[in-house]
Amino acid sequence: MIKTETAVQVSLKIEAMIDGEFERFTFQEAGRLVSLNDHQHYLTYTEHQAGQATPVRMRLDAGALSVTRNGARRTRLQFNPQEPTLSHYRTEYGVLSLQVETAEAVSEMDWAAAQGHLRLRYRLRNESGLIGNYYLDLSFER
């Protein structure tokens, strides 16, 4: 297996509309672009917010977009514009099932230059109904 790692600067904006309340989060973080065998690409970084550090890993390959957050609660969301995906959200009270409905997934990646841009629009649902609407805008570069 051939593995390459490149240090990058990550810019991330997340907007959420949950129960009629709008929230916006922005992050500027140091990260690493990891490529395995030139066909699997991961972006890893740590989000710092309100005194908490949350490690994040994003898989950025077409057909295999996902975000994994490993904080106090572990979340892994998979994004597929063709069909909803199922995920699980681990809490101190147990595991909750989530449905991810991806409305938009646009990526522009230049692996050789270690830079890229990703935009995602998606909805999260659970068995009770709509949790919220989300927009993620990510860019990274050397």
Give the pLDDT score at 128. Answer: 85
Q: Which two tokens stand for residue 44?
A: 């890893």
Query: What is residue 3's predicted lDDT score, i.e. its pLDDT?
Result: 87
Which residues lie closer than 8 Å to 58 by C-beta, 6 or more apart? 42, 43, 44, 65, 66, 67, 68, 118, 138
pLDDT at 89 (0 to 100):
78
Taking the chain (142 residues) in runs of 10, the rounded mean pLDDT of each run is 90 92 93 88 91 91 85 84 88 84 93 93 91 95 94
Contact, 119 vs 136, CB < 8 A? yes
Measured distance CA(62)–CA(85) in Å, rounded: 15
Which CA distances in Å does 91 have to 18, 72, 86, 119? 19, 8, 16, 27
Record the pTM: 0.88
